[in-house]
């Protein structure tokens, strides 16, 4: 039996590596596009047998050429643009990459092979200043930043192409999802690294913003599995992918520092520069539809995620100290 082929854009990111591993386990031939596949990530992908193709996300014709060459059965668009630590920087590039790239991919699918199944990595940021909590697939979108607005455009285009052109397109409305592969732009990685660094006496403290801010944090590997399940379903649809529970940054600190036997209150300082007021309504997802229709459920708890992240940071920093 010929192996199925999957194409993953943005493959070198956290989600791309977990999805690649999952697909290879299921016997797929995996091809990816990335701007920055290097170092450990490049080695991980190479060990999996993943092939890489160069693609400028603004070039629709080039993407068509890749589709004709690769002939994928499934496409997962994980490519996204952010600049700095905020979601307000680089709004033009965000619109170009996070928004317009979606119809470019959809048009290429229409032209080359309309049978290709497509999953778009959407975001809870489309809800922004949420009009209800928890958020589900029917919750009105209300983005509060350029990132969320661009993601909403892509999300809407999926629905339009699914209804009008009958393409198999799905939006995975992903809430926060973490792992040891998270970048330092995210508070979970920052706190996990700080706990390990304090334990090893490399730093004395860490500065954070609002410790009472709450987030719905899940495990990236679980979210990758959800996206794959969406493309195995009989009908294309959109799904909220979330843990369905929230935890505060304070609890994040307590779990992370507790993992190395420390009390976070001795080392965490609140910085006015990083402080953000709490949302009027909590961003927390209701994954009931994914549970019922896809049989999907999280397998890794919040505490397990943070413990693994701290353990990984401790191992990395310990090696650096002894070298």
Determine which one of 123, 124, 171, 179 is catalytic: 123
Determine which one of 28, 76, 81, 147 is catalytic: 147
Is 107 among the residues known to form the active site?
Answer: no
Segment 128-157, tens digit of pLDDT: 999 999 999 999 999 999 999 999 999 999
Determine which one of 21, 125, 251, 313 is catalytic: 125
What CA–CA distance (Å, rounded) separates 33 from 158? 20
Residue 279 is predicted with a pLDDT of 66
What CA–CA distance (Å, rounded) separates 67 from 74? 10
Of 12-16, 103-107, 195-199, the poorest mean pLDDT is in 12-16
Task: For tokens 């920055």, name the residue.
Answer: 36
Is 18 among the residues known to form the active site?
Answer: no
What CA–CA distance (Å, rounded) separates 215 from 249? 8
CB 50 within 8 A of CB 32: yes
**Mean residue pLDDT across the chain:** 93
Segment 282-299, tens digit of pLDDT: 899 999 999 999 999 999
What CA–CA distance (Å, rounded) separates 67 from 62? 9
The arithmetic mean of pLDDT across residues 265-292, rounded, is: 86
Of 16-30, 102-116, 169-183, 265-279, the poorest mean pLDDT is in 265-279
Find, among 292, 290, 48, 313, the residue nearest to 178 by Cα. 313
What CA–CA distance (Å, rounded) separates 137 from 240? 6
Enumerate domains of the chain plus CATH numbers.
Answer: 5-177+217-241 (3.40.50.720), 184-216+246-282+300-322 (3.90.25.10)
Is 147 among the residues known to form the active site?
Answer: yes
- pLDDT exceeding 70 applies to what percent of the chain? 94
């Amino acid at each position: 039996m010929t192996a199925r082929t999957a194409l993953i854009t943005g493959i070198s990111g956290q989600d791309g590596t977990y999805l690649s591993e999952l697909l290879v386990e299921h016997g797929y031939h995996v091809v990816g596009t990335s701007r920055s596949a290097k170092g450990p990530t490049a080695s991980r992908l190479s060990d999996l047998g993943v092939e890489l193709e160069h693609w400028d996300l603004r070039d629709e014709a080039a993407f068509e050429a890749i589709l004709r060459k690769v002939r994928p059965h499934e496409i997962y668009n994980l490519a996204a643009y952010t600049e700095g630590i905020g979601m307000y920087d680089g709004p033009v590039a965000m619109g170009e990459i996070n928004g317009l790239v979606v119809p470019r991919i959809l048009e290429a699918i229409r032209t080359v092979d309309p049978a290709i199944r497509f999953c778009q990595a959407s975001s809870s940021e489309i809800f922004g200043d949420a009009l209800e909590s928890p958020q589900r697939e029917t919750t009105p979108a209300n983005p509060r930043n350029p990132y969320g607005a661009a993601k909403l455009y892509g999300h809407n285009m999926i629905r339009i192409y699914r209804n009008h052109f009958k393409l198999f397109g799905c939006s995975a409305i992903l809430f926060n999802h973490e792992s040891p592969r998270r970048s330092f732009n995210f508070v979970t990685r920052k706190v996990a690294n700080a706990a390990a660094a304090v334990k090893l006496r490399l730093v004395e403290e860490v500065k954070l913003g609002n410790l009472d801010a709450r987030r719905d944090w899940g495990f990236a590997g679980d979210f990758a599995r959800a996206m794959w399940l969406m493309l195995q379903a009989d009908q294309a649809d959109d799904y909220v992918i979330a843990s369905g529970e929230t935890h505060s940054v304070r609890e994040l600190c307590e779990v992370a520092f507790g993992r190395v036997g420390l009390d976070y209150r001795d080392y965490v300082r609140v910085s006015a520069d990083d402080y953000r007021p709490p949302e009027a309504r909590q961003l927390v997802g209701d994954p009931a539809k994914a549970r019922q229709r896809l049989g999907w459920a999280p397998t890794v708890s919040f505490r397990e995620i943070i413990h693994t992240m701290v353990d990984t940071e401790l191992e990395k920093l310990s090696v650096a100290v002894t070298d």
